[in-house]
Amino acid sequence: MRPQFSIIFFTTLAGMAQGLLLGLILLKIFDAFLPGDFVIQLGLPVAFFLLCLGLFASFFHLGHPEKAWRAVMMWRTSWLSREVIALPLLMTIVMVIYFTTSWMEVPLWLWFVLLLANLFLWLCTAKIYQSIQFIQEWSHPSTLLNFIFLGITSGWILMEILILLSNNLPQKIPFSIFSTLALLFLSLACLLKLWTWKRNKGLKPKSNLASATGIKGNNIRQISMGFMGGSFNTREFFHHQSTYFIQNIRNIVLVCAYLLPFILIVISFFLLPTMMLVLSLCIHYGGLIAERWLFFAEANHPQNLYYQRVA
| Site residues for other proteins per CB under 8 A | 1, 61-65, 67-68, 70-74, 77-81, 84, 128, 131-135, 206-207, 209, 211-227, 229-233, 235-237, 301-304, 306-307, 311
The residue (of 73 and 191) whose beta carbon lies closer to other proteins is: 73
CB of 146 to other proteins, least distance (A): 18
- Alpha-carbon distances of 98 from 39, 109, 266, rounded to whole Å: 9, 15, 34
The residue (of 196 and 300) whose beta carbon lies closer to other proteins is: 300
Q: Residue 301 and residue 211: Cα distance in Å, rounded?
A: 14
Q: Residue 120 and residue 56: Cα distance in Å, rounded?
A: 20
Contact indicator for 71, 80 with CB cutoff of 8 Å: yes
The residue (of 86 and 277) whose beta carbon lies closer to other proteins is: 86
Q: Residue 85 and residue 241: Cα distance in Å, rounded?
A: 35
The residue (of 220 and 266) whose beta carbon lies closer to other proteins is: 220
Spell out the residues 6+ positions from residue 94 whose beta carbon is closer than 8 angstroms to its own: 21, 44, 47, 48, 51, 114
Query: What single DSSP character describes residue 242?
Result: -
What count of other Cβ atoms lies within 10 Å of the Cβ of residue 15? 27
The residue (of 129 and 149) whose beta carbon lies closer to other proteins is: 129
CB of 123 to other proteins, least distance (A): 16
